[in-house]
Amino acid sequence: MMGECLVMQESLFYEFRLEDHVPSDHLLRRIDCFVDCSGLRQRLAGYYSATGRPSVDPELMIRMLLIGYCLGIRSERRLCEEVHLNLAYRWFYGLGLEDKVPDHSTFSKNRHGRFQESDLFRHLFEAVVQRCLDEGLVGGEGFAVDASLIQDDANKQRSLAGAEWRAQDHTDAAPRAVREYLATLDEVAWGAATDVEPKFVSPSDPAAQWTDAMRGPAFFAYADNYLIDLKSAVIVGVEASRAVRQAEVGAARTMLERAAERFGLKPERLAGDSAYGSAKMLHWLVDEQKIEPHVPVIDNSERQDGTFSRSDFTYDPETDTYICPEGKTLTTSGRIVTEGTNRLYLGSTFDCGPCPLKERCCPNTPARRITRSFYEHAREVTRALAGTPAFERSRQGRKRIEMLFAHLKRILKMGRLRLRSPCGAQDEFLLAATAQNLRKLAKLVLPTGPQMTQEA
C-alpha cells in the first residue's frame, strides 16, 4: 500500500530544550568548556555609551566569530544564516529558538570600532593561551617560529606601479586600509621593514606585499607569523607582517618578547628555518636572550669557483687576525663594509704575490680579502649546535608548525583573507590562532572517542 505524505500537525505547546539536542561529544560543547568571556564587558565598558538603546551583547558576537573560525565558516553573512538554522550553534551562543540572530553588518561596525580600539582579539587569544598553560599543554623549553603567506583580498588587475602609488597625495579622505597603512610606516613589521620600492601596490590595500614566493603566479599577500611551543604545538604568539624576510624576523622578536612579558615564557631553544639565520638575529638570540638558535646559518662566504673560502682560513681571536693555508697573516685596519656589519681583513701583496697558492686563493686581486661579521661569535655558536641530538629533535618538532599552517588553510579555509589593512589581517590571524588553540584544548584535555578526536 502506498503511503501518503504526512501533514505536519502543529501543537499549541512544546516541551523543548536545546541542551537535550546537543550531543555530549559535539565540538561546540567541548570548546564551550574553555571559552571564558567574563572579562569582555569590563574591557569594553569604556567604549559604550551610558544612554541609548541596548546594543548586541559583545559576548554573543565574539562567540559567533570564534565558532565561525573554528568551523571554517568564513562569511559572516553565511554564519548568521547557519546560526539561524543550527540548534547546536544557538545553544553555544545562548540563543533561544525565538531569539533573533544579529545582522551581519553588526560585526564589521564593532570590529572596526570598539573591538579594534580595545585590542579585544589579542586579549581573547592570550586568555586561551593562559588556559593552555593552566592545563599543562605548554612546556616552555622549546619554541618554533615560522611564517606562511596568506593571499590578500586585493585585485591584482587594478594594481599600480610602486613609484606611481607613492607619488599620489593620500589625504584624510583616503580609504580606511590606506590610512591604516600610512599609520604603520614607522613600525618594524610594516613600512620600516624594508626601504625597497615594491614592484606593484594595491590601491585598496597598500600594506599587502606583491610576491611570487610560492613559485607560481604572483599575488598580494600578508605573512602570518606563528610562535609555537613544541610540547603540544600550542600557538603562544601570532603576528601579522608584510611578506618580506625582514618583517618576519622582526615579528619573531616581537612574539618572543611578548611571550616573556605576558606569560613569563622564555625558551631554552628556538627552532626555525634559514630565514631566521641572519647574523643580527642570531646575535640577539645568543648574546642578548641566551636562547639556543636551532636555525641554519645564512652564510654566503663559501665560494663555488674552486678557490679558497673563508672557512679555509683560521681565525686567531687573540691577535684578531686570519691565517691563510700557507701560514701568512691577514690583518684588519678596522675598515667597516657590508652596510656596517662586517670588518675587512687584508693580506699583504708581498705575501700574496709570490705565493704558490695564489691562483687558488685570489687570482683576480693583488691580495686576499676576507670579511668577518661583528656577530661571528653568535654564528659560530649556532654552527656548533647543528647536527647535535637536540638540534635534530627541534628540526623534527618544527614540522608541527607546518602542520598548523596546513590546518589553517585547508580545514579553517584561511587560504585568502576577507579583511583588508594591517589591522584586518591581524584580527583574522588572531581569531584563527585562537580557534586552533581551542580545538587543541578540546582534543587533548577532553578526549571522548576516535571520531571526535579526528574532528578536533
* Cell numbers given for 205: 590595500
Report the alpha-carbon distance of residue 290 to residue 330 in Å, rounded: 32
Q: Of 277, 208, 200, which is closest to residue 243 (Cα–Cα)? A: 208
Residue 378 in any domain: the answer is no
Q: Which residues of 340-365 are buried (b: 16+ CB within 10 A; e: fewer)?
A: eebbbbbbeeebbeebebbeebbeee
Cα 152 to Cα 202, 204, 225, 284, 421: the distances in Å are: 10, 11, 15, 31, 9
pLDDT at 285: 93
Residue scoring higher pLDDT (188 or 372): 372
Verify that 244 and 292 share a domain, yes or no. yes
Domain boundary among 76, 103, 118: 118
Domain boundary among 85, 103, 118: 118
The CB density around residue 102, as the number of other CB atoms within 10 Å, is: 20
Residue scoring higher pLDDT (188 or 205): 205
How deeply is 226 buried, as exposed, middle or buried, from its count of CB atoms within 10 A (0-12, 13-18, 19+)? Answer: buried
Verify that 361 and 444 share a domain, yes or no. no
Sequence-ordered strand ranges (E) for 64-189: 142-151, 160-161
Residue 39 in any domain: the answer is yes
What is the C-alpha R_g of the chain?
A: 28
Verify that 145 and 252 share a domain, yes or no. yes
pLDDT at 93: 80
Verify that 188 and 153 share a domain, yes or no. yes
Verify that 265 and 329 share a domain, yes or no. no
Verify that 103 and 140 share a domain, yes or no. no
Q: Which helix (H) or strand (E) holds 315?
A: strand 314-316
Task: Annotate 141-166 with DSSP letters as a single string.
Answer: SEEEEEEEEEE-S--GGG-EEHHHHH
Banded model confidence at residue 263, pLDDT cuts 50, 70, 90: very high
Cα 16 to Cα 20, 60, 72, 82, 224: the distances in Å are: 8, 22, 29, 20, 44
3-state secondary structure of 433: helix
Cα diameter, the chain: 112
Average pLDDT over residues 115-141: 88
pLDDT at 71: 87
pLDDT at 154: 83
Verify that 335 and 192 share a domain, yes or no. no
Asked if 330 and 321 count as a contact pair (C-beta separation under 8 A), the reply is yes
Verify that 153 and 249 share a domain, yes or no. yes
Look over the chain and give the mean of its residue pLDDT values, rounded to a whole number: 84
Residue 248 is part of a domain; what is its CATH number?
3.30.420.10
Question: What pLDDT, in 10s, does the model give residues 148-177?
Answer: 999 988 887 788 887 777 656 666 667 778
3-state secondary structure of 193: helix
Report the alpha-carbon distance of residue 103 to residue 80 in Å, rounded: 7
Count how many domains the chain has.
3
Report the alpha-carbon distance of residue 349 to residue 176 in Å, rounded: 62
| Whole-structure pTM value | 0.85
Residue 209 in any domain: the answer is yes
pLDDT at 449: 45
The CB density around residue 379, as the number of other CB atoms within 10 Å, is: 21
Residue 6 in any domain: the answer is no
Average pLDDT over residues 299-311: 84
Verify that 244 and 356 share a domain, yes or no. no
User: Residue 239 pLDDT > 70, yes or no?
Assistant: yes
Q: Which domain holds residue 325?
A: 310-373
pLDDT at 13: 56
Residue 302 in any domain: the answer is no
pLDDT at 456: 38
Q: How crowded is the C-beta side of 176, counted as CA atoms within 13 Å?
A: 10
Residue 267 in any domain: the answer is yes
Verify that 129 and 113 share a domain, yes or no. no
pLDDT at 108: 76
Average pLDDT over residues 296-323: 86
Average pLDDT over residues 230-251: 92
Residue 241 in any domain: the answer is yes
pLDDT at 452: 42
**Residue showing cell 625558551:** 267
pLDDT at 453: 40
User: Residue 195 pLDDT > 90, yes or no?
Assistant: no
Question: What pLDDT, in 10s, does the model give residues 416-449?
Answer: 998 888 888 999 999 999 999 999 998 898 765 4
Verify that 284 and 346 share a domain, yes or no. no
Question: What pLDDT, in 10s, does the model give residues 56-106?
Answer: 777 788 888 888 888 888 888 888 888 888 888 888 887 777 778 877 777
Report the alpha-carbon distance of residue 19 to residue 87 in Å, rounded: 9
pLDDT at 7: 53
Strands in 342-346's sheet, in edge-to-edge order, are: 314-316, 321-323, 329-337, 342-346, 369-373
Asked if 61 and 102 count as a contact pair (C-beta separation under 8 A), the reply is yes
**Residue showing cell 618580506:** 244
Verify that 63 and 105 share a domain, yes or no. yes
Angle (nearest 5°) at CA 185 between 47 and 173: 60
Percent of the chain with pLDDT over 90: 27
User: Residue 5 pLDDT > 80, yes or no?
Assistant: no
